[in-house]
Amino acid sequence: MDLAQPLSTLIPTLEADVLTVLARSSEPLTGRRLAQLGRRGSHPAVQKVLDRLVDAGLVEMQPAGPARLYRLNRDHLLAGPVLACVAGRQTLLERLRGAITSWQQPCVHASLFGSLARGEAGPRSDIDVLVVRPARVPVDDPVWQRQLHDLELRAARWTGNPLAWFETTEGDLLRAMDGTEEPVVSLWRDDAVNLAGEPLTSLLTRISGAAATVGR
């Protein structure tokens, strides 16, 4: 699935770009502005798509002086499926949060990072998830491993994209932050979309503060 623009999975043409921009906008837009906001398509190409969608009733057009403004007709029978597709990323995040927060063996923290977190994912992108395992739970704990494996399978069924875990512990995080911070920690810090447990910024602050206290 195209995780950044899910509608493109069903409609691999310029219509997906136009409808995605309109679905995410609360204000009417000109054809030129639509072309600027979309991932592809010249103004003339976008205008042809708009003309067709207006004819179908899925997009509404209103004159505004010499310009024409467009908005998605949210009362159209097909508007619901369009909006559901456009909201695919948010739906995925909600499902991931629901699954992880219901784990029998809770995690200390889980967050999304990488291209999906940055809104740059494509059809073949992984769903990258950082998960911090409690120190008391062994890495080979059967309940813990089953949770990870089950969510991998479910995420693949939801999207067609693989879920890639980066599993660590508070101790490993602290070692990665010791001295010069490892690049991957900066990546997690910059990208983090929290899914469950203690927020990453709070977790990193807590463990670094605790280590500083012990070292005095």
Whether the model clears a pTM of 0.85, i.e. scores above it, the answer is yes
Predicted confidence at residue 133, as pLDDT, reads 97
Predicted confidence at residue 94, as pLDDT, reads 97
Banded pLDDT at 208 (limits 50, 70, 90)? confident
Per-residue pLDDT, averaged over 169-174, amounts to 88
Q: What is the pLDDT of residues 44-93, one digit of tens each?
A: 999 999 999 999 999 999 999 999 999 999 999 999 999 999 999 999 99
* pLDDT of 181 above 70: no
Structural domains in the chain plus CATH codes: 7-84 (1.10.10.10), 88-215 (3.30.460.10)
3-state secondary structure the chain: CCCCCCHHHHCCCHHHHHHHHHHCCCCCEEHHHHHHHCCCCCHHHHHHHHHHHHHCCCEEEEEECCEEEEEECCCCCCHHHHHHHHCHHHHHHHHHHHHHHCCCCCCCEEEEECHHHHCCCCCCCCEEEEEEECCCCCCCCHHHHHHHHHHHHHHHHHHCCCEEEEEEEHHHHHHHHCCCCCHHHHHHHHHCEEEEECCHHHHHHHHHHHHHHHHC
